[in-house]
Amino acid sequence: MPPIPLITWPGLLTTAGALACIATLAGFAGQLWWGFELASHFRVQYAAALGLGALLALVWRRARWAAVFAGFALLNAALLAPRFLPLAEARTAADGPAFRALLANVNSANRDHERIRHTIIAYDPDFVVLLEVTPWLLDHLADLADRYPYRAAEPREDNFGIALFSRRPFLRADIVQFSAAGLPSIIAGFAADGRRFTLLGTHPLPPVGAGQAQDRNDQLARLAAFARQTRQPLLLLGDLNISPWSPHFERLLADSGLRDSGRGRGILPSWPVGCPPLRIPIDHALSSAGIQIQRRETGPDLGSDHYPVIVDFRVIGS
């Protein structure tokens, strides 16, 4: 019987590092296949793992692998750099009415309505977009009506209920569908100091499988077309089930003309709460040129698998 090859730590390192390099490249081919696109979301993890792998390869005197891992770590780091480079917009003072919006995917199985209520009260936003809202949760948040007398909602028993709470009266509030699967989104119009603006809340399907990935991509395309056609300043809030490093997200920004509020503000991962090493930013706040995002942060644990996103913004267009 031939001898059984020994498994060594350097061998495991080389295998794991090579797989991370392959995944790095696969992410660039996300438009070709939904499985490749899933690989695009973990740039932070690839950069960290490959950077550590390069150091360990040097310790174990595998200089060639150290160079390969370092090169791929730098490639991923270059893709992350825009999340940290300061934006001119953030340094420019703006006039116009100021607001705060809170986006939260609350998880349809979440029964901790007190924690959700406490977070809303603590951040005191002008607008609240809740995703995965069930009839049960909407009933248990009914006492927030004193703070938010204006509401639009389509609660559901699945993962795609949606609600918008507002302090300000609606000029319009429509439940619409950008998805062929019939998933609801909310479009609401507001006015402040003579300036009108639109808020859009949405939640596409997760791209698990070819069919759902295509439906999500189609919904993103319809959202982009709506944003292009909207003359008023627009703030889009949603769990888009996509990270900033996906080619489909880049296409959404290019086709819509919207700007990613996460650029220049760090990684801001929002999901999954229960697995810190795999957290990625999939909950987004995108704005048109008539909206200036002045601050963005990730909120506390709501008992959901997502963290909430809070943005402070001004309406500078009309």
How many structural domains comprise the chain? 2
What is the mean pLDDT of the segment spanning 14-26? 95
Same domain, 67 and 131: no
Range of the domain at 59: 9-83
Residues 109 and 141 grouped into a single domain:
yes
Q: Are residues 64 and 137 in the same domain?
A: no
Read off the amino acid at residue 21.
Answer: C
Please check whether residue 188 is in contact with residue 152, taking contact to mean a CB–CB distance below 8 angstroms. Answer: yes
Does 2 map to a domain?
Answer: no
For β-strands 184-192 and 172-177, DSSP reports them as antiparallel
Q: Are residues 79 and 104 located together in one domain of the fold?
A: no
pTM of the entire structure?
Answer: 0.94
**Residues 271-305 pLDDT 10s:** 999 999 999 999 999 999 999 999 999 999 999 99
Pairing of strands 259-260, 234-239: unpaired
Shared domain check, 294 and 230: yes
Distance between first and last Cα of the chain: 80
103-122 tens-digit pLDDT: 999 999 999 999 999 999 99
